[in-house]
Amino acid sequence: MTSPALFKNPVPEVPAVLLDALRLARRVVVFSGAGMSAESGIPIFRDAMHGLWAQFSPHELATPEGWEADPARVWAWYEWRRGLVMRAAPHAGHMALGQLASALSRFAGHDVVVDAVTQNVDDLHERAGVKGVQHLHGSLFAPRCSACGQPAEFAGVPPVEPVASLVPPRCKHCQGFIRPGVVWFGESLPQDAWQRTEALMAQCDVLLVVGTSGVVYPAAGLPAAARQAGKWVAEINPTASELSSHIHLHWQTTAAQGLGSLLQALTTRGTA
């Protein structure tokens, strides 16, 4: 027989102060970053630049100038990354986020609205059932025309093995090249997502920051601004970040473990 100790639940204990804050909250914003995707096996930008891509700089792959110089190389890079995401699956943290509003409403005994804002360009939140996600850095799944800006469609499935060059599809309105729907270095954040995020942050009671190192501005400034505006701000992150000393709680755990055990705690205590 196997020792029961081997089956000890590794789920981390949910900090009491977090449950106390959530019990009073009517609106919660979850703000996620690269750590959330990394747990699904999606490499962060620089880690993805290996193999074929190691010979290129971020400037060549992810700037308007890099696109102008070689659209087929840039399109190949983003199609490869889209393929990586398509072969990945949402983890327990994404799944918990999809159920968080209903679990919180039962736990608190009043309706709770949960909104999600992410710096991630994948679609794992959506695939876990999270609605209305604000993508501050755009999305790998929202291509648009580089000339007229109309939303566009992919020509097919991305190649499994990386290729150095893939001619982008053409816009059916103006024949311009279709470009990735992500925000490149040197570009502004999408204005509608940014304005909605600012509104959500202003309305929320609790801000839960998950898996973001807090270094990419202007998004990185949101948690500190929320704290200054009187919001209760917690961070779920396995390592301390630049945010940690400026907020109410740094819960040292991963996105999958933290959000997963939070959902479990809300569910068991909410029905007691």
* Shortest Å, Cβ 174 to Zn ion: 3
Q: Say whether residue 174 binds Zn ion (CB under 5 A).
A: yes
Candidate list 91, 125, 135, 137, residue with the active-site label:
137
From 28-36, 90-98, 138-146, 215-223, span contacting Zn ion (CB under 5 A): 138-146
Distance of alpha carbon 156 from alpha carbon 83, whole angstroms: 11
Distance of alpha carbon 23 from alpha carbon 249, whole angstroms: 16
* Shortest Å, Cβ 64 to Zn ion: 16
Indicate the residue among 150 and 203 with the shorter CB distance to Zn ion: 150
CB-based contact 144:178 (threshold 8 Å)? yes
Indicate the residue among 176 and 270 with the shorter CB distance to Zn ion: 176
Distance of alpha carbon 32 from alpha carbon 197, whole angstroms: 12
Per the annotation, the verdict on 137 as an active-site residue is yes
Contact positions with Zn ion (CB under 5 A) in 208-227: none
Q: Say whether residue 171 binds Zn ion (CB under 5 A).
A: yes
Length of the chain measured in residues:
272
Amino acid found at 6: L
DSSP 8-state code for residue 155 = S
Among 145, 207, 210, 243, binds Zn ion (CB under 5 A): 145
CB-based contact 210:258 (threshold 8 Å)? yes
Other beta carbons within 10 Å of 71: 18
Contact residues toward Zn ion (CB under 5 A) are 145, 147-148, 171, 173-174, 176
Which residues are part of the catalytic machinery?
A: 137
